[in-house]
Amino acid sequence: MSPEGLGKDRVPHSGQNMADHRHVPFNHGGRACIEVLFIIRDKFNAVIEVTTFNSNGELGRIMWLWYSWQSAAVVNDEGDILDVEINEARFSVHGAKERLQMITEGHLPPEAVVLKERFPEAKPTAHGSAELPEFEIPQPTASQLQVADEAALLLAKEGVAVSAADPDRRLEHLLRASEELRTLHLTMEARLVEWVGLFLPSARFERNRTQVAGQLSSVDSLSDFASMLDVDDAYEQPSDSEWKSLHDWAAMVSNQGRQLDRLEHAIRVAAQAHLPSTSALVGPLLAARLCVEAHGRSRLARLPSGTVQVLGAEKAFFSHLRSGTAPPKHGHIFMHPWISRSPRWVRGKIARMLASKISIAARIDAFEGTPMSQDDVDEVEAKVEGIRKEFSKPPRR
């Protein structure tokens, strides 16, 4: 359809699209030009289609609404500025920060809003986008640049402060600290048991291995420790310096155990506040681990249940994809006794069912719905028992 024929055949009725046109003068290469915009709107006055023609009657293309924190411009594909709005006022640091925050949140600054009303068909695009054509960008004044730098620094500081309130990141630090401390604790505890066993070979620590550090750090000599365990005293006593080193080592291991308990308590408190439904379903420690592995509560809520099922088993999963090994049936959720204490042949079925319930619980948490009650958890446990009874015997091989 030619530009002259658009929307001029008859008066549109209430259900018909309407056409309008606008002449936009601009400067291109030192000469005055006019671009004609033909806009088709629906009965609600919403823009459906925009067609542009230049002064030679050639079909034009899209227009961009470029904007920064203190200026905005409408630009065509050839980099010609059709209209511009520049705020040359003296900004305070607080005022500039508010404008930068506005753009960060996806809102248009006042200058862009004015141009958007004049050119509703222009595509809003923030400064720095690779989509924009090359054009002469309106530059702020030197004082505005200085204020913008101070405002950006202030905004960055506030962003760092706000990130400290992110429960996902705090939960991650708690969990990672617990993992690192547990690894160190187990290594040092094993060293302590082996060290003491060198002097007291008749002592047996299989059942009370975790109590060795606390008991040894509470006595004044190795002989007192042997008497406490009711075993033969050491044939060769350690020197004073060696005993002090052994005693201090035991005190460190004992202190690490108490630190681990405090960390796990903090994880439980944080998980129950951040993931109430998931914590009620599978326990706060496992809920926290799943949240951290999924990189946040909102992402855990978006994951399909099949992915939740194998969270933590990434190596086995990619080995299955790469070399055709058996796919993993479960990841971290194996830690839950509903799975770990079930017969081998039903673990996959229970894991699938539990993963689907975890996905529902995570979505309840993410969208702040009504938390799961104990009745809901009992219902899931009944399903677990039903699966165990239905498949009480292993399948034939």
For 202-219, b/e burial (b = at least 16 CB within 10 A) is ebebeeeeeebbbbbbee
* pLDDT value of residue 46: 53
The Cα 256–Cα 189 span in angstroms is 10
* pLDDT value of residue 59: 44
Question: What totals of helices (H) and strands (E) does the chain contain, helices first?
Answer: 15, 7
175 in helix, strand or coil? helix
249 pLDDT above the threshold of 90: yes
* pLDDT value of residue 3: 42
Name the band, by pLDDT with cuts 50, 70 and 90, for residue 11.
very low
- Which residues, 6 or more positions from 86, have their beta carbon under 8 angstroms from its beta carbon? 70, 71, 111, 138
* pLDDT value of residue 202: 86
Q: What is the DSSP letter of 164?
A: T
* pLDDT value of residue 13: 45
- Which residues, 6 or more positions from 174, have their beta carbon under 8 angstroms from its beta carbon? 263, 266, 267, 270, 288
Residue 304 vs residues 11, 18, 166, 295: alpha-carbon distances, Å: 53, 45, 24, 14
- Residue type for 247, please? H
- CA nearest to 273, candidates 371, 162, 173, 357: 371
Crossing angle, helix 240-274 and helix 167-199, to 10 degrees? Answer: 150
Residue 255, classified by CB atoms within 10 Å of its CB into exposed (0-12), middle (13-18) or buried (19+), is middle
Structure tokens at 333: 């959720």
- CA nearest to 135, candidates 84, 93, 170, 198: 84
Average pLDDT (256-277) is 96
* pLDDT value of residue 18: 56
- CA nearest to 83, candidates 49, 128, 11, 35: 35
Cross-strand bridge partners of residue 18: 41
Do the domains at 168-271 and 275-390 have one common CATH topology? no
**Element spanning 171, H or E:** helix 167-199
Q: Which CATH number fits domain 168-271: 1.10.8, 2.30.30, 1.10.287, 1.10.260?
A: 1.10.287
Cross-strand bridge partners of residue 72: 67, 85
Q: What is the pLDDT of residues 86-129, one digit of tens each?
A: 888 888 898 889 989 888 888 999 999 999 888 888 889 888 88
Classify domain 275-390 at the CATH class level: mainly alpha
- Which residues, 6 or more positions from 12, have their beta carbon under 8 angstroms from its beta carbon? 18
Tell me the percentage of the chain whose pLDDT exceeds 70. Answer: 85
- Ordered by start, the domain boundaries in the chain are 1-60, 64-164, 168-271, 275-390
Q: What is the pLDDT of residues 338-391, one digit of tens each?
A: 999 999 999 999 999 999 999 999 999 999 899 999 999 999 999 999 999 999
32 pLDDT above the threshold of 80: no
DSSP code string of 105-148: TTPPPHHHHHHHHH-TTSEEEETT-TTSPP--PPPPPHHHHHHH
pTM of the model: 0.66
Residue 64: φ, ψ to 5°? -115, 140
